[in-house]
Structure 1
């Protein structure tokens, strides 16, 4: 758009220069013609005084025609001057419009530069956020992996304690059955035999000593 305006302005300036040149040539021709006509008029007036009225009338008519042509040329010159002034005014308007368009283009370029800077800053901020998000995701994955490993360890530990608890319960039941069997056998013996037999000492592995451990297993299994 700027180049087309500059080209149109240059063409208009060339046309204006050509018109001014033609106008100057025309003015010179008109001045010369006016001088010639004035000289011829003086000669004619001298001849008119010497010649008859008919000849004077013919020459006067010719002179009037020449004067009319001269006036017409002057009017044409004035019209050309007015047209030249109008074109100069139009040229000034075009130059003012070109300056306005140039100012607008500069403002648009500045706005585009600011917008480009904002887009660049947003892109950098986006990259930074993506990097932080990636780091956060990696940290979350690591924590999840640790939690998964911890869950597996806890599950394995609970399974092991459940097995130990089950073994302890079976052992406890077995010992209880053994104690009951011995108690039944003692109850079936004669009274004298029972008095002679010393009370059997409880084993360190009896159910009484294992009850706290059993309770601990039960409490842990309920967690």
Structure 2
């Protein structure tokens, strides 16, 4: 079931209803504007991989990935009932959380016809209390997500764009611990970021520093086939 957030972003990028839900070849595309195909993906980027790979053979594709920099959690007892509670989630996503998902899409990026558009948003997450719940797991189900505000956007097309995401305070050689500290992100997110940058050739593996992997910018220009 399509969320309100997906529908709102689709109209934001498409502009008009005629430019959304367009049939291209055998695929349904979220929006088509000036010859560019826009796909909004809240779920895993990996689920889009086969579709985007096929489309890139002929078309320019923009994959829009929304992240929640702030999220208002709204709970009801029933879908149409009054609000029981509302609060802001302590969890905040940043541009670096793109790499948590990009690990499943990295074999397609970069490509001369592909743009990744990261949209940092403020969202509402609407929850309904479960009448029956399992022993483990949440006591609610998410019934919708809605857009409150677009905070910022970041377009990524090249290896240079990826390198620009490295903190300016980072030393020429670094470990994922250094990256986590300077970017102010968890170590596991830094590890996924380093993996993506290394796989694309944006950085290179230099060896070991103690028990940690050591990375740095490539000493020679390396081009990855698009």
Same fold (TM over 0.5): no
TM-score, L = length of structure 1? 0.16
Higher strand share: 2
Higher helix share: 1
TM-score, L = length of structure 2? 0.16
Larger Rg: 1
